[in-house]
Structure 1
């Protein structure tokens, strides 16, 4: 058998295996990075229509892969991608920090609605502590916190950071988050891996005086810093849940909590920096306290990397995560381009998906970043497309209550055209989606298989009565369920058409 034929056979087997085990509930997300215009918009000076078209191009691509979540960066460095009195307009959106685009348009509201129309959740991605992306402070707007509150800033390397120890900073960041939750129909607040900054050799983060004055007896500098981060995470959790309890709070930490050489509870890795010891972020504390709804550790290495094996790290998180949804952050940008020879293999990402699906606690993946799969990686995309051949629902929030109940279904008299009819559906809870199955009758055992989902009708509204237009089927019946804003799904319904 030739080498080419063997390769084709291997790819076929990998695809077949991944496709046959498609979970019905699986988060499939893409990070859409806006800082320095990584993914979108391509240029802050682009006109409104180009920005919209470029965003739609991203959504169209991931909709074709049956993705169900977009993680969109709406705050990069003390700025905002939406109108607010607490931060200036981002230069990455408008071209000049602090200046609104002309003509004025709330692009965030449009992006959320457009994302929802495609059946995708919208996760608002925020960077809390990074205040500037460089030292060009002359380019900052007068309304930037660097100018309004210089006492909040600490210079480190080539950036300025908010001082995580200041209660005023914590309250300010909480207020920003609360405003976003109040004003927009988002599905999640999302933080990435930037807490205290990644360490730079020869640089010192200048907070020793505050530590000396404020730390508890016997509290180390590291413990004090981690307590500062914990304080913010706790405040954000309570702010979000007191407003809209269905809005998720998710964090995507650096891939390694601690190395085993630092802590016997850590992973068998040799990461140069870790969450706990260098970024002063402790996801284990957030889990213990119930402050987050999901974790998405960034496991950007190959499966058998000698220092930080993707397999080893994923298994560690799988064994140490409970009471939240666990997703894997995948480094799609490295596929077919990184110098690691395993990244040069077109099936590396597919193997990572397969590994995630085998893990007991893992229920989804998020890929960094959006543009990385959109050109020049057709072989990789083809494998993922087959792995994601069926639609999937996003996992429900842990401990989110009882499933919704369909209370009434009415056919709208005289409504419906071109072989369709209109139904009014009343439920016990606000509706996220209507899930229509390709079944002839109610078969709960088949309800749990992704291949039986025919289509998902997005609603994403805080209303319990929705209208649905459906085609008249050959067998004269409609098998469907509803999901609520928490992601819980009702029992199957059989409606005669």
Structure 2
């Protein structure tokens, strides 16, 4: 048949041109979701809900994303000069308890961190450093809110009050807030979003001229001075974190466009109305150059080929301008079938964005805004993502600033092969908060692929692992590795399940 060789040739060419190229399945990939608490966007649904309901709603979020194989919750615990934890520097948030300054009666943050870790996820504490109030209704603020304690720090702009970033005492105060948090809680990261200097409000001037007069350097423009104020906070927060708990990461999620190329040839091919450098006075390129971050999550909330701000072009720009830090992409899942841009009506708009990220070697993960956006609607998109992109687990990437040396200090004391569980006792477990259980052959491998992962088990400081035999089934061998606080994986240890002595340290 004359057409048959031609058809086979087309098939060969199509295959060689990667039309049928499989979606990469990385062993390490950041899979995060933002849990916005300000005005109860995601959680709690109401500050007036009972503590039991708030806990149940938080677990619903965790279990939804655990079912999607996500590995990091980025939870807003400081929204507007307040706190979701017992703080010496801020009152309890009204978004948590319904009344600012009212305590919930329990350490809700410690509980949230523990429940997040139990599900194999990192907990990233998201704070808004400069936003002091969410509106001008100051009568509802606690008497110990900084608005009352330090009115000289406040600047009214638009319909909110902000901390003046130009005051050294403000920056010192904000660093103290971060220090308190990382000292008292076992968080995995401090996270800032895009709110540095506020987005521009038409016909209003941000009133920091007196601070500028008192604190700027000679010949320093106001714009450069403002950027230097933000630079100083970023540098000092990073320094403080690493001096206290070097494994705790510092991540920042700036507005997606650094500069348009119409104002700077180094900028992206976009026409954004405001940019992170010129309008928010934030310079993530400098922060990366100086090594002040562990990861960067630009908020690229536009569709793939939107003319004024193409997701495709912006991701490409960041991939070529990121250094010394892990790059993740922020995706606007809240826009799915809920936006004037008709591209978001497509079932594959978000999957196409994830495909773009997976195929770009510089991108190491994605973060979705916000948590509830996929939980309430668009089940067809969720099922597609689970089938094509999140059908396997993934470990979170290691910070580029972490020492690459693995701490292989743990040893197995004993293994008991019981009826329903395999009970493994450990020595020196506090080094390793997680154990990984892989399907294995008799001989140990140097690096097990993620498709072999049977379970990720949170240890905390426990000296014993319980491996459910439902995970193991009829396998004769499993391999254990351990993740340290930096996320580094230990050398594997093979457990022989069909022997009287399943583990022999001399093997």
Q: Normalising by structure 1, what TM-score?
A: 0.92
**What are the within-5 Å matches in structure 2 for residues 91-490 of structure 1?**
91-101=94-104, 104-386=105-387, 387-401=389-403, 402-405=405-408, 407-411=410-414, 417-426=418-427, 430-442=431-443, 444=445, 447=448, 449-459=449-459, 461=460, 463=461, 466-470=463-467, 471=469, 474-490=474-490
1:34: which partner in 2? Answer: 37
User: Alpha-carbon deviation of 1:406?
Assistant: 5.2
Q: What is aligned with 2:3?
A: none
Cα distance in 1 for residues equivalent to 2:401 and 2:90: 34
CA contact (8 A) 2:23 2:355 kept: no
Separation in 2, partners of 1:132, 1:389: 41
1:407: how far off?
4.2
CA distance in 1 between partners of 2:156 and 2:411 (Å): 60
TM-align CA RMSD: 1.9
Report the alpha carbon displacement of residue 264 of structure 1 after superposing the two structures with TM: 1.2
Residue deviations 1:386-434, cap 9 Å, x none? Answer: 110001000011131112315421215xx56424232123469711321
> Could you report, residue by residue, the CA deviation over 1:189-230 in whole angstroms, capped at 9, with x for unpaired residues?
000000000001101001122213322222111110000001
SS of aligned partner of 1:276: coil
Contact 1:416 1:469 (C-alpha < 8 Å) held by counterparts: no
Unmatched runs of 5 consecutive residues or more in structure 2: 1-14, 497-501, 503-507
Distance 2:148 2:420 in 1: 62
Cα distance, 1:483 vs structure 2: 1.1
Matched, 1:55 2:58: yes
Q: Does 1:22 align with 2:19?
A: no
SS in structure 2 at match of 1:123 = strand
Quote the Cα distance in structure 1 between the aligned partners of 2:296 and 2:443: 35
Deviates more, 1:194-203 or 1:394-403: 394-403
Matching residue of 1:494: 494
Hey, what's the Cα distance between the residues in 2 that align with 1:123 and 1:390? 22
Q: For 2:28 and 2:386, how far apart are their aligned partners in 1?
A: 17
3-state SS, counterpart of residue 275 of structure 1: coil
Which residue of the other structure, out of 73, 84, 87, is the alignment partner of 2:76? 73
Describe the superposition over 1:232-288 as per-residue Cα deviations: whole angstroms up to 9, x where unpaired: 111111111111110110000000111111111111111111110000000011111
Structure 1 residue 473: deviation in Å?
5.9
Measure the CA separation in 2 of the matches of 1:474 and 1:194.
53
Deviations 1:100-149 (A, max 9, x none): 13xx1111110000000000000000000000000001111100000000
Query: CA shift at 1:476, angstroms?
Result: 3.3
Query: CA separation in 1, counterparts of 2:97 and 2:211?
Result: 37
Q: Is the 8 A contact 2:167 2:211 kept in 1?
A: no
Q: Distance in 1 between matches of 2:430 and 2:42?
A: 36
**Contact 1:406–1:425 (8 Å) recurs in 2:** no
Decide whether the 8 Å contact of 2:328 with 2:364 is kept in 1.
yes
- The whole-number CA distance in structure 2 between the counterparts of 1:18 and 1:454 is 26
2: distance between equivalents of 1:232 and 1:168?
A: 11
Q: Cα distance 1:63–1:216, how it changes in 2: closer, same or farther (>3 A)? A: same
1:45–1:94 Cα contact (<8 Å) kept:
yes
Larger deviation, residues 433-442 vs 260-269 = 433-442
Could you say what secondary structure the match of 1:262 adopts?
coil
For 2:10, the equivalent position in structure 1 comes to none
Gaps in structure 1 of 5+ consecutive residues: 1-12
Aligned residues of 1:410 and 1:423 also touching (Cα < 8 A): yes
